[in-house]
Amino acid sequence: MILKIVSVGDPVLRKKARPLSAEEIRSAQIQELIGHMRDTMRDAPGVGLAAPQVGQSLQLAVIEDKADYHKNLNEADLKERERKPVPFHVIINPEIELLTPAEITFHEGCLSLPGFMAVVPRARKVSVRCLDEQGKFRTIEASGWYARILQHEIDHLNGRVYIDRMRSETFSTLENYQRQKQ
């Protein structure tokens, strides 16, 4: 089932989402939500989707950066962004630690703010402690684009969107961004 993605301005995107218990994580309701979020993210398409983006104020996000999404980028862009495929996974109740300063800049977009992009500084490396979709503890060490995705989705779980961190003078429509890249 494809869920409706809420847009910036919806109050759910500005609230700190509530954590989930291990029991809740294993419930049929949350397992079903994870499946619907995966389908919604892939349909959009996107590389991440946080529960608040589908109207659920829960500390839950799904992430996947398929190799298919890289086909419009050349080798130099992939290398510069340190972008590699990331298999589908779920992060629940994440705690993030920035391992480097938030000074690597690239354009970001967001499914809750369609049609726009801006340059956003992010840390190159992060460590995330979280639970997976079975409620098992895991630590993720990530760098490059994967670290950026984690920071973006965890921001959503804390009531923030990329426009809170962007370099405002770079805010642009997707159409203008693509025109300038040519």
pLDDT of residue 101: 97
Using H for helix, E for strand and C for coil, what is the string for the chain?
CCCCCCCCCCHHHHCCCECCCHHHHCCHHHHHHHHHHHHHHHHCCCCEEEHHHHCCCECEEEEEECHHHHCCCCHHHHHHHCCCCEEEEEEEEEEEEECCCEEEEEEECCCCCCCEEEEEEEECEEEEEEECCCCCEEEEEEEHHHHHHHHHHHHHHCCCCHHHCCCHHHCEEHHHHHHHHC
The amino acid sitting at 34 is I
- Give, in order, the Cα–Cα distances in Å from 14 to each of 80, 108, 161: 32, 19, 8
pLDDT of residue 40: 98
Domain ranges of the chain: 11-181
pLDDT of residue 11: 98
Q: Which residues of the chain have pLDDT under 70?
A: 182
Which pTM value belongs to this model?
A: 0.97
Domain spanning 11-181: CATH 3.90.45.10: yes
- Angle at alpha carbon of residue 21, lines to 112 and 1, rounded to 5°: 40
pLDDT of residue 90: 98
Which residues have a catalytic role annotated? 153
**Other CB atoms within 10 A of residue 2 CB:** 12
pLDDT of residue 63: 98
Rounded Cα–Cα distance for residues 105 and 137 (Å) = 30
